[in-house]
């Protein structure tokens, strides 16, 4: 991968978060989303032209240098819109035994069905431990839910789901 390919467009990042998955996590907010969910809490992340470019190797080095970080969360926007970039980061993070969560507006079934057609989807899926899937639905908003905004969204154990050939939902409620 050349230097230009190692740049990722992010809306921002959170250095130490306790609310985007279990433990102390680094959160990378992807720039770009096609879902445009009504009531989205991050509408500034929808444009594919916004945010700024970051060097992925520098982002990864910064995670390596923080011993408090036990997990990384890809949020958005929608990380699957830059799946090849997030797949590169995820592979490097898995080599450090970092737990990886990813939020997406796509449903798991759709990702599985199209994983070989969309750039980086299959590769990203290989490294994600937990996927929170589905669009945010304002009518199903529930502030008491952990790690998700609306009740239609699922917290999926990706490894177990792929192994079983059916969706394995984790219960954090």
User: From CA 70, how far away is CA 94, in angstroms rounded?
Assistant: 11
Give the burial class of 10: count Cβ atoms within 10 A of its Cβ; 0-12 exposed, 13-18 middle, 19 or more buried: buried
- What's the predicted TM-score (pTM) here? 0.94
Where are the alpha helices (H) located in 20-146, listed in sequence order? 56-64, 83-94, 108-114, 121-127
Only one residue has tokens 């982002």, namely: 59
3-state class (DSSP) for residue 135: coil
Only one residue has tokens 């036990």, namely: 70
- Contacts of 108 by beta carbon, 8 Å cutoff, 6+ apart: 131, 133, 154, 156, 161, 167
Run of H or E including 173: none
Extents of the domains making up the chain: 4-110+119-144+158-164
CATH class entry, domain 4-110+119-144+158-164: alpha beta
Q: What is the pLDDT along the chain (173 residues), one digit of tens a residue?
A: 666 689 999 999 999 999 899 999 999 999 999 898 888 878 888 989 999 999 999 999 999 999 999 999 999 999 999 999 999 999 999 999 999 999 999 999 999 999 999 999 999 999 999 999 999 999 999 988 999 999 999 999 999 999 999 999 999 87
């Amino acid at each position: 991968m050349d230097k230009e390919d190692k740049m990722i467009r992010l809306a921002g990042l959170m250095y130490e978060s306790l609310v985007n998955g279990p433990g102390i996590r680094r959160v990378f907010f992807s720039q770009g989303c096609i879902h445009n969910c009504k009531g989205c809490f991050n509408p500034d992340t929808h444009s594919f032209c916004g945010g700024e470019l970051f060097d992925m190797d520098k982002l990864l080095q910064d995670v390596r240098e923080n011993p408090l970080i036990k997990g990384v969360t890809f949020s958005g926007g929608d990380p699957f819109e830059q799946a090849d970039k997030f797949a590169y980061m995820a592979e490097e993070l898995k080599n450090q035994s970092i737990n990886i969560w990813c939020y997406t507006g796509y449903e798991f079934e759709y990702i599985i069905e199209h994983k070989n057609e969309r750039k980086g989807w299959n590769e990203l899926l290989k490294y994600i431990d937990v996927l929170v899937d589905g669009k945010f639905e304002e009518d199903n908003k529930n502030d008491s839910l952990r790690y998700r905004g609306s009740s239609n969204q699922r917290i999926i154990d990706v490894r177990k789901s792929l192994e079983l050939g059916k969706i394995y939902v984790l219960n954090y409620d």
